Amino acid sequence: MSKVATQSEESMGAKVVAGLILQGAKKVVGASEDYLKKAIKEKGAGEKLAFPETAFYLPLANALLGFETRTLADGEKIVATSKTLLANELSSDNFLKEALNAGVATILSGELLLALKYMYGEEPQEGAPGFLSDTLLRSLGIQLVDGRISGIAVILGKAPDAKTAVDIVRDLQKRSILTLIGDNVGGVSIIDQLKEGGLQMGLDSYVVPFGRDTASVIYVLNFAIRAALTFGGIKAGNTKASVDYVRERVPAFVLLLGGVDEIKAAAGGGALAAGVPIITDLDLPEIKVPGVCAHEECLVKEMDHKKIVQRAIEARGIKVKVTKVPIPVPFSAAFEGERVRKENMYVQFGGKYSTAFEYLKMKKMDEIEDGKINLVGSDIDSMQEGSSAPLGIVIEVAGRKMAADFEPILERQIHKFLNYAMGVFHMGQRDMNWIRISKDAKKAGFKIKHFGDILVAKLHDEYGAIVDKVQVTIYTNQKDIDRILPEARNAFEARDKRLEGMTDESVDTFYSCTLCQSFAPDHVCVVSPERLGLCGAYSWLDAKAAHEITPTGGNQPIKKGAVEDTGKGVWKGVNEFVKDSSHQKVERVTIYSMMDSPMTSCGCFECIVAVVPEANGVMVVNREYAGETPVGMKFTTLASSVGGGAQTPGFLGVGRLYITSRKFISAEGGLKRVVWMPKELKEALGERLKKRALELGVPDLLERIADETVATDAGALVEYLQKVNHPALSMDPLM
């Protein structure tokens, strides 16, 4: 019979853990103070101190204390504050609170220590990304809100062996949980175990190493806390709101494996203080405190490695949706970005190697048979290893609520769905796709027919509200592919023409998107045919389809109602909707202006448009561009003042494609106002921009728009604009 711990034994055990946290915290604060003194002695108190690519200084100190740490002298404030959080000894009745305070001291001082190591070039460590940038946070934001990432696991330490390590991480991947791994026990890190087990790591596979020592877990914590500042609109220094945000909105937990020492305990104390529960395979006393973590469970014990992931998601309250797809390889969003390299490829289709296409079309209900999968031609068994073969995938769907408008939306999902299968790689779309099946997948029994199983299962699963029947025919012989391809190409062309013809005037209903309210509670995207959501993921048609699929979800129809201002894009119905959905925070919104009541920005915008007063124009910067801009701020700094669900006249978060819309800031003169954008963005949108420029009567506008190769400050920019006679210089004053 197993022994049940009494309350006093539990309390004693908890006090032992608390003692470990305090001891570790004292060591971390001491180490940080010593390193800071050394740095000040060697470099001077005015030396700059910063992490790369963030607008939040040292983010934990910024979020929790409101400090803007810029120099070594500023670091002294962090050490001083950390010291005030350390009790000399634990009291008997308040020891848990004292341990949590020690945890906070650990993460504040630990963060300072890492920043100092950056200054000395000791960070990032080899094979680990080090500080996780604001850009990464923004790009993950959309995956968290749309459910592709269901949670975040942080693994500290090591598993008993490489196989167990791989099994645990595979279990997390199958549940679409982003896993950040690091730390070590006795010099062995789970990073090495996963390498030994042959597991592919990287953001694409949802498995990201953060470092081999315990301190690097701070990168994860200061990443999580930045979500509060970036998406939650929470002001720096509002400790309670920041911690509440992480506890309630960031679905993270720590798996502590293989051993604990005082430093690890102290870092764990910091995680608990930030509202992140810990699940461990160690024989430690469980700690339950209401109000600290998402549920009352703070430190949870699960010594069976087969059950530890399930136990963790229960303790954190993560909802995981696993779709059963009848294929012989694991299937989840975590495999979406996995590559199949040439050495591990069994067979490939399309790309530059063979003819391939994928085409989805609507049929009448009685024309197709649900679940029928037909392979015309040979399957993988009769294909040679390393070969290329032709492939045509034709999906026919029928449904009472299905509409021809939804065809391209469903067709676009083929990319995502096929990539979810481990060992399958998919790129491109339509008649420009490229698919590979790995040797491992072939060995596991994967057949070409399984593409059909995936598509039938996932289209029913995610689009069941509009799709009643799905039939898939897969061709692997050239003759049939050549026969069907012209029909598919005609359909692609017709769709493009129809989409191009859609305008805001041609519809009486726009759609909302409030998916990001899980992060930015007052933000509302108004999605119109000529203005897509600012994350770039939701066009008007996407939002319309999403509404059909989930009528009570985040995409609701907005009846435009009476026009109040045609030029700025103001409608009575839109204002009423936005006021209601923003919890009365936003009273008026213009769809075509960035100066007067612009739309709010959440945080996962693809680009920022900002006024450049000296040029009487605007610049656009995409989040991938890390350099300086003519407004004197990098993307990360700009983004910190634009996001959080606020309206910020003069600044606008937008989706990339909106820049090429006829309605792009049309109230301010549209594309002709753009005076600067990064070269990469210019090139990516090149053809579309040229087309718009031609329509505007300035065919060489693209060449007149400056980029970083010409200017990164306002002075040089204006000089260039004058030289090329940019139209913005002679437009009405912007301000």
Contact residues toward ligand SF4 (CB under 6 A) are 142, 145, 513-516, 525, 533-535, 537-538, 602, 604
* Distance from C-alpha of 207 to C-alpha of 214, rounded to nearest angstrom: 18
Q: Which is nearer to ligand SF4, 73 or 502 (CB)?
A: 502
Considering beta carbons, is residue 142 or 347 the nearer one to ligand SF4? 142
Give the pair of three-digit tokens for residue 600. Answer: 């709010």
The CA distance from 247 to 228, in Å, is 10
CB nearer to ligand SF4: give 104 or 621: 621
Which is nearer to ligand SF4, 123 or 542 (by Cβ)?
542
Closer residue to ligand SF4 in complex, CB, 339/412: 412
Nearer to ligand SF4, 146 or 596 (CB): 146
Residue in this structure with the two tokens 């490939």, named with its chain if needed: 348
AA identity, residue 718: V
Tell me the closest approach of the beta carbon of residue 579 to ligand SF4, in angstroms: 17
Would you say how long the chain is, in residues? 735
- Considering the complex, what minimum distance in angstroms separates the CB of residue 336 from ligand SF4? 17
The CB-nearest residue to ligand SF4 is 533
Structure tokens that stand for 286 in this block: 């469980």
Are 620 and 562 within 8 A, CB to CB? no
CA dist., res. 603 & res. 635, Å (int): 12
Nearer to ligand SF4, 359 or 540 (CB): 540
User: How far apart are alpha carbons 35 and 384 in whole angstroms?
Assistant: 60
Which residue's CB is nearer to ligand SF4, number 433 or number 600? Answer: 600
> What is the rounded radius of gyration, in angstroms, for the C-alpha atoms of the chain?
27
Of 145 and 208, which has the nearer Cβ to ligand SF4? 145
Residue 578's nearest CA partner among 533, 522, 630 is: 522
CB of 111 or CB of 336, closer to ligand SF4? 336
Nearest distance, CB of residue 227 and ligand SF4, angstroms = 14
Min separation Cβ 274 and ligand SF4, Å: 24
Three-class secondary structure assignment of 625-676? CCCCCCCCCCHHHHHHHHCCCECCCCEEEECHHHHHCCCCCHHHCHHHHEEE
**269 closest CA partner among 89, 114, 131, 105:** 105
Residue 257: alpha-carbon gap to chain centroid: 27
3-state secondary structure of 482: helix
Minimum distance of ligand SF4 from residue 364's CB (angstroms): 33
CB of 538 to ligand SF4, least distance (A): 4
How many whole angstroms separate alpha carbon 241 and alpha carbon 247?
Answer: 10
Count the helix, strand and coil residues of the chain and give each as a percent rounded to the nearest 5. Answer: 45, 15, 40
Residue 586 C-beta: closest distance to ligand SF4, Å: 13
Tokens of 440: 């491992």
Count of Cβ atoms closer than 10 Å to residue 323 Cβ: 14
Q: How far is the CB of 653 from ligand SF4 (least distance, A)?
A: 8
Closest alpha carbon to 672 in 695, 649, 654:
695
Closest distance to ligand SF4 from the beta carbon of 518 (Å): 9
Shortest Å distance, C-beta 462 to ligand SF4: 16
CB of 636 to ligand SF4, least distance (A): 18
- Report the nearest approach of ligand SF4 to the CB of residue 27 (Å): 42
Tokens in use for 363?
Answer: 């049929």
The residue with tokens 């978060």 is 653
Residue (181 or 250) nearer to ligand SF4, CB:
250
CB of 379 to ligand SF4, least distance (A): 39
Neighbours of 114 (CB within 10 A): 25
> What Cα–Cα distance (Å) separates residue 44 from each residue in 74, 78, 115?
12, 17, 16
Phi/psi at 507 (nearest 5 deg)? Answer: -125, 155
Q: Which residues of 605-641 are buried (b: 16+ CB within 10 A; e: fewer)?
A: bbbbbbbbeebbbbbbbbbebeeebbbebbbbbbbbe
Which residue has tokens 């609507």?
A: 362
Contact 323, 131 (CB under 8 A): no
Query: Which residues fall within 8 angstroms of residue 216, CB to CB, at 6 or more apart?
Result: 114, 125, 128, 130, 182, 183, 210
Cis peptide before 124 (omega within 30 of 0): yes
Least distance CB 147 / ligand SF4 (angstroms): 11
Complex with ligand SF4: residue 56 or 511, whichever CB lies closer: 511
DSSP 519-532: TSTT--EEEBTTB-
Minimum CB distance to ligand SF4 smaller for 617 or for 655: 655
Could you tell me which of 298, 304, 294, 306 has the C-alpha nearest to residue 247?
294
Judged by CB, which is closer to ligand SF4: 266, or 532?
532
Report residue 393: phi and psi, to 5°.
-115, 120
Tokens of 437: 């099946």
Which of residues 389 and 516 has its CB atom nearest to ligand SF4 in the complex?
Answer: 516
Closer Cβ to ligand SF4, 176 or 556, answer by number: 556
Per DSSP, the residues of 373-419 read EEEES--GGGSPTTEEE-EEEEEEEE-TT--GGGHHHHHHHHHHHHH
- Minimum Å gap between C-beta 663 and ligand SF4 is 16
Reading the block at residue 17, the tokens are 């853990």
Q: Which residue number, 25 or 525, has a Cβ lying nearer to ligand SF4?
A: 525
Maximum alpha-carbon separation in the chain = 87
Structure letter (DSSP) for residue 380: G
Q: Which is nearer to ligand SF4, 392 or 521 (CB)?
A: 521
Cβ(673)–Cβ(728) under 8 Å?
A: yes
Q: CB-based burial of residue 718 (10 Å sphere; 0-12 exposed, 13-18 middle, 19+ buried)? A: buried
* Shortest separation between residue 273's beta carbon and ligand SF4, angstroms: 30
Q: CB of residue 534 vs ligand SF4: minimum separation in angstroms?
A: 5
Give the nearest distance from C-beta 328 to ligand SF4 in angstroms.
34
Answer whether 90's CB lies under 8 Å from 18's CB: yes
